[in-house]
Structure 1
Amino acid sequence: MIGLDTSHVSAFAKLLNDHTQEYHVPGGRIVAAYPGGSPDFELSWSRLTGFRQELADNYGVSIMDSPAEVAERCDAVLLLSVDGRLHLQQLQAIAASRKPVFVDKPFAVNSEDARAMAALSREYGFPMMSCSALRYAGALTAALQDAEQGAVIGADYYGPLEIQPTQPGFYWYGIHTAEMLFRTMGAGCQSVRTTTNADHDQVVGIWADGRVGTIRGNRRGNKTFGGLVHREKGTQFVNTAAVAKPYYAGLLEQVMQMFATGVPDVAASETLEIIRFLEAANESRETGLTVQL
């Protein structure tokens, strides 16, 4: 693990290292970690000590002095730093090891960094995957597998949207609903327009084939995730709270499969489009104009 400043540290360690967990994910265990951290981001520095101690005390994880040392000690890397601004720099530090890498959300907080990270994966030839755990929420998976009502013609998702200055606009929590939207709709969004006020944001995306997909961010009221999948013959409600299995377990299963096979479930091209989608949504949020991807 690289970056011990997120609750995902604890969630992933329990699912991988503790065989007694109900949703234990087999195939690997956490053995080494680098704390990292961002001194200008309270949600980073304030959590480092606790998660570092949990890994060392509960799971016997060795704490390393650099990302490169972690890569040397491991077969694969979970790059979990909560601050997306650090991901390019940390990936640069381990790229030469050519180890498979999962980069936690947000992959990057601008398209330039995202493209540079994808280029590192291609240059050094290591598999890489990045996404939100909400992409693999059980209720969403079930809805997409049930195609009795025909092809997907649109989708609307909602979730909380806290604003963190170091992770501009939609990057911090908008990534969750955006991942749900892109898993449903696929790539191909051409333009976005954002409507915003103090309590809510809504992004309307237009796909190349004319389909419309939206994400709604709430800073007041509803703090849950969910949505609607519109099909040719009906609409499905995606209630993420209706399935007991943690989002992280579904995500970690896909990550471990990527580590074993070298084939990511989410293509780099789609991840780059999602980052650009969020970037364009932020631009529209500031200007009120429709922004082309």
Structure 2
Amino acid sequence: MNRKSFLTLGLLAFTAVCSASAAELRIGMIGLDTSHVPAFTDILNNPQNKAHVPGAKVVGAVKGGSMDIPSSRDRVEGFTKTLVEKYNVKLYDTVEELVKNVDAVFIESVDGRPHLAQAIPVIKAGKPLFIDKPMAGSLKDALEIFRLAKAAKVPVWSSSSLRYGKAAQAVRAGSLGKVTYAETTSPAGLEEHHPDLYWYGVHGCETLFTVMGTGCESVKRGKTADGKIEVTGKWKGGRTGIFREAKGYTGLAKGEKGEAPIGAYDGYAPLVVEAIKAFQTGVVPVKPEETIEILAFMEAADESKRRGGAEVTLAEVLKKAGGK
């Protein structure tokens, strides 16, 4: 298929999605090995759910699963059974078959490594796509996903649900004016196949960038007094953002108009609302540049660790991954 045909098919498919947006969107899920799968499906498919989001329904899925990650291997069958038996979701053997029967897609695989391969047929089919955290198994893969999506003019985005905590959103909307300093915490359990913060620390990093925005230039990684991960980022204009590993989701933002707590988790529904809105409008709520910077921040933290806590620029890790 040449580039012109690829773009034409993408445009035709997205036009079909826009037409379907007035009715109920048919959602497909890829990777049924995370608790997000039954949670998101219940929010969309169950009108009795207090957090129900109308306008879309999960109708099809590809099971997926990673046998070298216990939390995937040990849960994928149970979550798959729930979707099929409780929500009447149809299983497909391949992503290529799935995308023929849905209007938009959630990639939910808990393992970020297969996300690029899973995203390619979705993008080729022109279907709007939300990719759950981590967006990919590496910054290089994430850059390629965004490159393909841009070329095909297909809306693709990624986010943690922590971005949509009410407190963080208020600060992002300007309640403190320009934010000059922020610190966030979240659990940061490690998974050997991913950069340290990709697996769970991404939640706190997402909140940090929600209030700080883009513009982080460098990162230094150290440890808290009790030996937990601590990553300090320097932003343009002398602003500072810090992520710390901790048991809970907390944080503080300081700005021109004062300070406010941030970091609280307010459920999955606000994220699902944004995903469906993006599918309906074709406008993503989080720009690729911001997601790329979050991933670069986390990879720079690993590079800083390898160098004994030395300062590492995001430009360096982006260049290494093939970005600008």
* Contact 1:109-1:275 at 8 Å conserved across structures: no
Deviation at 1:88, TM superposition (A): 0.5
Aligned residue number for residue 114 of structure 1 = 142
Matched residue type, 1:273: E
Counterpart secondary structure, 2:71: helix
TM-score, normalised to structure 2, is: 0.84
Deviation at 1:143, TM superposition (A): 4.3
Unaligned runs of 5+ in 2: 1-28, 315-324
Aligned residue number for residue 47 of structure 1 = 75
* Contact 1:284-1:290 at 8 Å conserved across structures: yes
Aligned residue number for residue 136 of structure 1 = 164
Alignment equivalent of 1:228, drawn from 252, 255, 260: 252
Alignment equivalent of 1:183, drawn from 199, 204, 210: 210
Deviation at 1:95, TM superposition (A): 2.0
The Cα offsets for residues 236-287 of structure 1, whole Å up to 9 and x where unpaired, read as: 112616xxx41x1110111011000000000011111111111101111222
Counterpart secondary structure, 1:65: coil
Question: 2-side partners of 1:171 and 1:73: how far apart?
Answer: 31
Aligned residue number for residue 250 of structure 1 = 270
The Cα offsets for residues 124-154 of structure 1, whole Å up to 9 and x where unpaired, read as: 221001010100012322444462x432111
Deviation at 1:212, TM superposition (A): 0.3
- 1:99 counterpart = 2:116: no
Deviation at 1:82, TM superposition (A): 0.4
- 1:289 counterpart = 2:310: yes
Matched residue type, 2:276: M
> How large is the RMSD of aligned CA atoms in angstroms?
1.5
* Contact 1:196-1:285 at 8 Å conserved across structures: no
Matched residue type, 1:236: A
- 1:269 counterpart = 2:293: no
Deviation at 1:58, TM superposition (A): 0.6
Unaligned runs of 5+ in 1: none
Counterpart secondary structure, 2:182: strand
Identity level (%): 40
* Contact 1:4-1:36 at 8 Å conserved across structures: yes
- 1:238 counterpart = 2:249: no
Counterpart secondary structure, 2:197: helix
Counterpart secondary structure, 1:280: helix
Aligned residue number for residue 20 of structure 1 = 48
Aligned residues: 284
Aligned residue number for residue 279 of structure 2 = 259
Deviation at 1:121, TM superposition (A): 0.2
Larger mean CA deviation between 16-25 and 130-139 belongs to 130-139
Counterpart secondary structure, 2:147: helix
Question: 2-side partners of 1:72 and 1:132: how far apart?
Answer: 27
Matched residue type, 2:310: L
- 1:157 counterpart = 2:184: yes
